[in-house]
Amino acid sequence: MARINNKLAHQLLPALFLASYLVGSVPSTYARPAGTPTTSSAGPSPTVPYASDDPNYPLWSADSNTIPQAQRGTEGATILGPQNVWIDLQNPDTLAPPSTDHGQVMHAKWPFSMSHNRLQTGGWARQQNVDNMPIAKGLAGVNMRLEAGAIRELHWHNTAEWAYVLKGSTQVTTVTAEGQNYVATVPTGSLWYFPPGQPHSLQATDDDPEGTEFLLVFDDGKFSDDSTFLLTDWLAHVPKEVLAKNFHTSQAAFDRIPSEQLYIFPGPIPADNQQPPTSPQGTTPLPYTFDFANMKPTQYAGGTVKIADSRNFNVAKTIAVAEVTVEPGSMRELHWHPRQDEWTYFIEGRARITLFASSANARTFDYQAGDVAYVPASFGHYIENTGNSTLRLLEILKTDIFTDISLNQWLALTPPELVKAHLQLSDETIAHLSKTKPVVVAPQ
């Protein structure tokens, strides 16, 4: 028996020496994170290298006095051929992406400045949909401007229409399938919403002498404002004898109807106290507008948030919004929306977003005022203020109730040993996690 044990030990000795050598020669890349408590027993060996500490800040900004180059640290090289310097200045994380970017993520930025503009007498309109940003399958947007008195003609859509007034005020009208009518004036910073198929109109007041400008969002990425159902377009394509029969009047009554759609056209300034005709069915039981401008926001360490969804804007059944401000150096925390696509519009400031699309796919984008970002449901992301002024944006979700999941809160409410097993965090770091959502995080 002793001879067998000696023989077994002799066979195992080289393996023991090799194991001892490997433990003693683990490279610094695998070193235990600073602040992690040590114990007398050996901790588990890492199965992959620890994440890099390489800095990944944006290397320049849109107003930097530099010629951007495709270099970050020791990687990349200078640009030798032609270069659109202005675009590169606006997109530092595209030309010189962070080392944390990896794999493939569809392009998730669209500046309205790149949209073809439809110019009309009295205003203009430009749109974003899957044709110019294919990742945006769930929502589409239109930026529209009307001079004082100008009318976006009576029309309807096969999608819902949600709107935020950027400047001036807009008078809206609608009639429901039950014959109830509604008229209201929507000021800067407030909202309206019309369900699919419900006819409505939009008209600029002269509260601002220049008229109004607003953002429209539709709950289908394939939406095109060029495919709207317009009153004048329809009547121009119905035989006049049919019109006369339908309205029990003469054909001559329709001698002056337009031969084609008007879309946007000049009109008289609407009265401030405009009232709809009295309907025997009455007025709508719920308002189709919401005084978002005067809603008090919730204050967080790094900014503010206010939310309008079907809980307070009851008719808005398919689109919800959070208006968010982020102070310089602060960020909208790491989070995701479990079932809802996010269409984000930047009103003021500069930002960057990294989209995590699972399977090691991640990509970072930079945004300025007037840009649109798109985040598909469940994509992890943050929104960081990279400028020197307050960042203001709209997070618009395709949903009736605005929801998100906070990474910080998730980890704080998960058993600590389970979090440690994944991330090797210290007890101090675990204790610092927040059991309530930080939402907008202040600078360190």
Residue 75 CB contacts under 8 Å (≥ 6 apart), including other chains = 99
Which residues are paired to 320 by β-bridges? 397
Per-residue DSSP letter, 53: -
Q: Rounded distance, CA 50 to CA 28, Å? A: 10
Strand partners, 185: 171
Q: Which residue, among 146, 184, 181, 144, has the nearest Cα to 164 in the 3D structure?
A: 144
What span, in angstroms and rounded, lies between the C-alpha atoms of 102 and 84? Answer: 24
**C-alpha torsion sign, points 42, 46, 51, 54:** positive
Q: What share of the chain is helix, strand, coil (3-state, %, to 5)?
A: 20, 30, 50
CB atoms within 10 A of CB 418: 10
Alpha-carbon distances of 179 from 162, 199, 287, 444, rounded to whole Å: 21, 11, 15, 56
Q: What residue type is 309 in one-letter code?
A: D
Counting every residue, how long is the chain? 444
Buried/exposed 231-258: b ≥16 CB within 10 Å, e otherwise: bbbebeeeeeeebeeeeeeeeeebeeee
395 is catalytic: yes
Could you give the residue ranges of the DSSP H alpha helices within 278-415?
407-412
The catalytically annotated residue of 147, 323, 333, 395 is 395
Q: How far is CA 170 from CA 144, 231, 275, 394, in A?
A: 11, 20, 15, 19
E strand spans, 187-330: 191-194, 200-204, 212-218, 229-230, 264-265, 289-290, 298-300, 303-308, 320-326
Identify the helix (H) or strand (E) that includes residue 93.
helix 92-95
Distance CA 264, CA 267 (A): 10
Q: Which residues are catalytic?
A: 395
